[in-house]
């Protein structure tokens, strides 16, 4: 039985592009401002490397391996690689990741074999060092994992004459592996990016730059006497097991083929459970991108992968693969500007790629990718190795590698508060994800729009929403805190001070109440609110017109509103976790300060240019908006948007000081008296909250607080308090919050 022509028989509307994908990236740690190998051990900040799902140690202590989770598209795999790379770069202290596959100049003495907990893994690395040499292990690359979707495999199986699904799937992936080895020379030509070795790395210097040392016989390959058959799965298993039994290989994983059959720990397992994916191992690091591989490359390789199934089987598989290996070596060791040899069956693979995209009506994006490949075939200077030629100086790429590697490291620190490629998510959630990746807690995004995560560590699972809503809080607790009336009653019953006021469920009743408060300082706010939405504050009392406008704003957020006495003093946000105060923030209401030149509108525009300001809680500070509340505030103070303020004159644009409405953040954790921290913690405990934001108005900071004599008023408890504003402040050192949340959920990671 064969599986030729099966892809051609499938419905053109079949979702061929669906599948599973993953990326593994190897990189050396390099000392900052140098091209010298980092000699420090694997960073402790990266958690337990023996378990870590994302960041592990490869051969040596200085070689990291970054591993994405299994994803549903090449784009998603690259997105996770971006996040994991971001975490790795920002965790390194005085180091950066080397962007090239070939190392800088390095000696055996500098290379410390990874001291892993597993005794076999240590023994395995010692064996590799003695068999291949330490320096050879410093070459780094990209491994791409790919699998067809279950839908495609089932459609192919139904179109075949196979009766055994396991055997069919094995033959299907074996065919792709066979053809991959026959045509990988094209990938070497396109994506080879190791044209030279630094002096002393090779036994003999090359006569000229080449395409890929790493993908050639000079790279990380088994000894010539080790030959593994791909003629059939049985032949593959037999030859691989024989090589291990005769001690040609220490273990099956020492078989350094350009493609690996994956899904079982031992190859014999495929007779019971089928091959589930292929690991493509032939990619050099692309030094021109921080991730080592681009989206265009991932998508092009995906199209290439599918075309391998379009191609027919070949007779005398092992002979064909041997010829292809020789061809690949010739191309790998050719000058980067040398054309492909005439012996290369270029049209066969390119035609197959074109046939796939036409038959299945793939998006124009893939047509563009194929056209770009054809252009590179016609012009070698467009390939990666061709582009690298211009950066070789004095037969070295060290200066280029240092420059690019440092630039990639600097990029990781651009918008340092965010998690690269997940910037669309709420910022506190991004920060929690950063910590989870760093410490090796697995992340599954259950609902991205709703910021809903499933975190797991060694079988321990926790659900988290919006960064700090977890099972640690009883369901009724956030409901109670969302209801300002319930919150006030519970606090008052326990002797904590809250503002006096009334609740209204209709505007007419609220308007009638104006007679009682027309000369009083008041606050008008929705009964249930968060992020300061719908709140109006009148420190000098409100006109009836202004009061009615405030009611309209509050009723637009909720069906009930509160009208409360305004409490004079300074407002502080206390962040409480598990009965302890972790941070205290002074929030200053949205404001501008005059310079005698610009209008208020222009001053707002200038202030909004701060790179820390953004929208929708994706940045530490929020853009100052020009809404109804802001304009009402200006009118009350006798200003308009076109007013020019004198130098030094400060004008508030809101009374509430929420960061989410454009306020400024000042960390005062260290200067705040412990008595207020303890009181705030007691208030949170009164409602049984594990996580809580407590807003206190404190008139006189020189007085100590107690429950009997609090010297403060609680104006609000917050059930989903923002965390990022405590960490990335406009002023002050900032406090670590999200890591404490993670450690509270997973106490076991503290012991790493």
pLDDT, averaged across the chain: 94
Sign of the alpha-carbon torsion through 636, 641, 646, 651: positive
DSSP bridge partners of 447: 452
In a domain, 673, yes or no: no
Question: Three-class SS of residue 132?
Answer: helix
The pairing of strands 141-148 and 19-31 is: antiparallel
Under DSSP, the state recorded for 292 is S
The residue count of the chain comes to 752
Same domain? 174 vs 271: yes
Which residues, 6 or more positions from 332, have their beta carbon under 8 angstroms from its beta carbon?
Answer: 185, 188, 192, 210, 211, 212, 213, 215, 216, 219
Same domain? 317 vs 461: no
In a domain, 725, yes or no: no
211 in Cβ contact with 189 (< 8 Å) = yes
Same domain? 324 vs 390: yes
Under DSSP, the state recorded for 396 is B
Same domain? 448 vs 354: no
Q: Is the pLDDT of residue 197 over 70?
A: yes
Which residues, 6 or more positions from 273, have their beta carbon under 8 angstroms from its beta carbon?
Answer: 166, 263, 264
Percent of the chain exceeding pLDDT 90 equals 83
Same domain? 410 vs 510: no
Same domain? 231 vs 333: yes
Average pLDDT over residues 267-281: 96
Q: Is the pLDDT of residue 191 over 90?
A: yes
Same domain? 460 vs 526: no
Q: Is the pLDDT of residue 1 over 60?
A: no
Q: Which of 386, 414, 442 is the last residue of a domain?
A: 414
The pairing of strands 536-538 and 561-565 is: unpaired
Average pLDDT over residues 675-688: 96
Q: Is the pLDDT of residue 751 over 70?
A: no
| Element containing residue 591 per DSSP (H, E) | strand 591-593
In a domain, 422, yes or no: no
52 in Cβ contact with 319 (< 8 Å) = no
Structural domains of the chain, count: 3
pLDDT tens readout for residues 389-444: 999 999 999 999 999 999 999 999 999 999 999 999 999 999 999 999 999 999 99
Q: Which residue has the tokens 């079949």?
A: 14
Distances (CA, A) of 347 to 91, 354, 382, 420: 46, 10, 19, 39
The confidence score (pLDDT) of residue 50 equals: 86
Count of CB atoms situated within 10 Å of the CB of 335: 17
335 in Cβ contact with 208 (< 8 Å) = yes
Q: What stretches of 680-745 adopt beta strand conformation (E)?
A: 691-698, 713-718
User: Angle at Cα 666 formed by Cα 660 and Cα 670, nearest 5°?
Assistant: 135
Provide the token pair at 535: 């709140």
In a domain, 547, yes or no: yes
pLDDT tens readout for residues 445-486: 999 999 999 999 999 999 999 999 999 999 999 999 988 889
In a domain, 508, yes or no: yes
Q: Is the pLDDT of residue 140 over 80?
A: yes
Q: Which of 523, 548, 565 is the last residue of a domain?
A: 565
Same domain? 449 vs 510: no
Q: Which of 545, 565, 585 is the last residue of a domain?
A: 565
Same domain? 314 vs 406: yes
CATH code, domain with 555: 3.30.1490.20
CA distance 323 to 341: 13
Average pLDDT over residues 280-290: 98
CA distance 129 to 59: 9
Phi then psi for 86, rounded to 5 degrees? -60, -45
73-77, 468-472, 514-518, 704-708: range with lowest mean pLDDT: 514-518
The confidence score (pLDDT) of residue 125 equals: 93
The confidence score (pLDDT) of residue 530 equals: 64
Band the pLDDT of 529: cuts 50, 70, 90. Answer: low
Same domain? 367 vs 292: yes
In a domain, 583, yes or no: no
CA distance 249 to 242: 9
Greater confidence (657 vs 492) lies with: 492
Same domain? 244 vs 351: yes
In a domain, 47, yes or no: yes
Question: Three-class SS of residue 349?
Answer: helix
User: Angle at Cα 272 formed by Cα 267 and Cα 275, nearest 5°?
Assistant: 55
* Neighbouring C-alpha atoms within 13 Å toward the C-beta of 513: 21
Average pLDDT over residues 534-550: 89
Q: Is the pLDDT of residue 730 over 90?
A: no
CA distance 749 to 440: 9
Average pLDDT over residues 244-248: 95
CATH code, domain with 335: 3.30.590.20
Which residues, 6 or more positions from 632, have their beta carbon under 8 angstroms from its beta carbon?
Answer: 536, 546, 549, 550
Average pLDDT over residues 670-675: 96
Phi then psi for 444, rounded to 5 degrees? -125, 125
Q: Is the pLDDT of residue 327 over 60?
A: yes
433 in Cβ contact with 743 (< 8 Å) = no
Q: Is the pLDDT of residue 33 over 90?
A: yes
Which residues, 6 or more positions from 204, have their beta carbon under 8 angstroms from its beta carbon?
Answer: none
Average pLDDT over residues 696-722: 93
**What residues make up the domain containing 444?**
434-473
CA distance 581 to 667: 13
Same domain? 438 vs 410: no
pLDDT tens readout for residues 553-604: 999 998 889 898 888 899 899 999 999 999 999 988 899 999 999 999 999 9
In a domain, 643, yes or no: no
The pTM of the full predicted model, rounded to 2 decimals, is 0.91
Provide the token pair at 732: 């002050």
């Amino acid at each position: 039985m064969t599986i030729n022509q099966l892809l051609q028989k499938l419905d053109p509307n079949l979702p061929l592009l669906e599948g599973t994908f993953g990326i593994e990236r190897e990189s050396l740690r390099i000392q900052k401002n140098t091209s010298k190998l980092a000699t420090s051990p694997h960073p402790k900040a990266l958690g337990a490397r023996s378990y870590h799902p994302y960041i592990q140690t490869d051969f040596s202590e200085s070689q990291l391996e970054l591993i994405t989770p299994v994803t549903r598209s090449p784009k998603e795999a690259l997105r996770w690689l971006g996040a994991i790379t971001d975490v790795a770069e920002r965790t390194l202290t005085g180091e950066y990741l080397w962007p090239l596959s070939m190392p800088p100049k390095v000696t055996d003495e500098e290379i410390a074999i990874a001291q892993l907990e597993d005794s076999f893994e240590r023994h395995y690395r010692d064996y590799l060092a003695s068999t291949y040499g330490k320096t050879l292990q410093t070459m780094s690359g990209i491994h791409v994992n790919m699998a067809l979707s279950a839908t495609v495999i089932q459609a192919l199986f139904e179109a075949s004459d196979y009766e055994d699904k396991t055997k069919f799937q094995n033959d299907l992936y074996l065919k792709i592996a066979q053809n991959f080895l026959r045509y990988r020379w094209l990938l070497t030509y396109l994506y080879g990016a190791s044209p030279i070795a630094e002096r002393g790395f090779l036994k003999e210097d090359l006569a000229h730059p080449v395409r890929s040392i790493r993908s050639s016989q000079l790279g990380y390959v088994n000894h010539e006497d080790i030959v593994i058959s791909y003629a059939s799965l049985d032949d593959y298993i037999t030859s691989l097991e024989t090589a291990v039994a005769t001690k040609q290989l220490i273990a099956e994983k020492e078989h350094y083929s350009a493609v690996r059959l994956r899904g079982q720990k031992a190859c014999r397992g495929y007779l019971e459970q089928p091959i589930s994916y292929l690991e493509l191992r032939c990619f050099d690091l692309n030094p021109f991108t921080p991730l080592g591989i681009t989206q265009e490359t991932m998508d092009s390789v995906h199209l290439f992968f599918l075309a391998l199934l379009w191609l027919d089987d070949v007779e005398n598989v092992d002979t064909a693969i041997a010829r292809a290996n020789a061809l690949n070596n010739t191309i790998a060791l050719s000058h980067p500007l040398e054309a492909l040899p005439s012996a290369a069956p270029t049209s066969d693979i390119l035609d197959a790629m074109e046939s796939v995209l036409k038959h299945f009506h793939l998006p124009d994006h893939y047509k563009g990718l194929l056209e770009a490949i054809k252009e590179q075939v016609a012009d070698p200077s467009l390939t990666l190795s061709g582009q690298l030629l211009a950066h070789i100086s004095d037969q070295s790429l060290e200066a280029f590698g240092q420059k690019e590697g440092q630039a990639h490291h600097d990029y990781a620190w651009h918008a340092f508060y965010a998690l690269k490629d997940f910037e669309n998510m709420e910022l506190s959630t991004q920060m929690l994800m950063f910590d989870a990746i760093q410490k090796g807690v697995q992340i599954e995004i259950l609902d991205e729009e709703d910021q809903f995560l499933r975190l797991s560590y060694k079988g321990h699972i926790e659900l988290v929403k919006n960064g700090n809503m977890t099972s640690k809080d009883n369901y009724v607790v956030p409901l109670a805190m969302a209801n300002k009336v319930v919150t006030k009653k519970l606090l008052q019953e326990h002797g904590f001070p809250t503002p006096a006021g009334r609740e209204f469920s209709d505007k007419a009743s609220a308007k009638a109440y104006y007679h009682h408060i027309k000369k009083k300082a008041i606050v008008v706010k929705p009964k249930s609110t968060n992020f300061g939405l719908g709140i109006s504050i009148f420190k000098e009392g409100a006109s009836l017109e202004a009061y009615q406008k405030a009611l309209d704003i509050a009723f637009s957020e909720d069906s009930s509103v509160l009208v409360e006495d305004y409490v004079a003093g300074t407002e502080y946000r206390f962040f409480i976790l598990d009965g302890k105060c972790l941070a205290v923030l002074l929030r200053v209401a949205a404001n501008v300060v005059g310079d005698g030149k610009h209008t208020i509108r222009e001053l707002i525009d200038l202030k909004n240019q701060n790179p820390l300001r953004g929208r929708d809680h994706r940045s530490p500070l929020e853009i100052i908006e020009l809404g109804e509340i802001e304009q009402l505030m200006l009118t009350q103070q006798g200003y308009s948007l076109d007013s020019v303020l004198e130098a030094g004159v400060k004008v508030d644009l809101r009374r509430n000081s929420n960061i989410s409405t454009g306020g400024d953040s000042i960390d005062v954790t260290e200067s705040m008296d412990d008595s207020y921290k303890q009181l705030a913690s007691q208030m949170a405990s009164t409602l049984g909250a594990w996580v809580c934001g407590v807003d206190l108005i404190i008139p006189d900071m020189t007085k100590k607080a107690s429950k009997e004599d609090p010297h403060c008023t609680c104006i609000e408890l917050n059930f989903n308090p923002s965390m990022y504003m405590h960490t990335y402040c406009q002023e002050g050192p900032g406090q670590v919050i999200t890591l404490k949340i993670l450690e509270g959920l997973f106490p076991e990671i503290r012991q790493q």
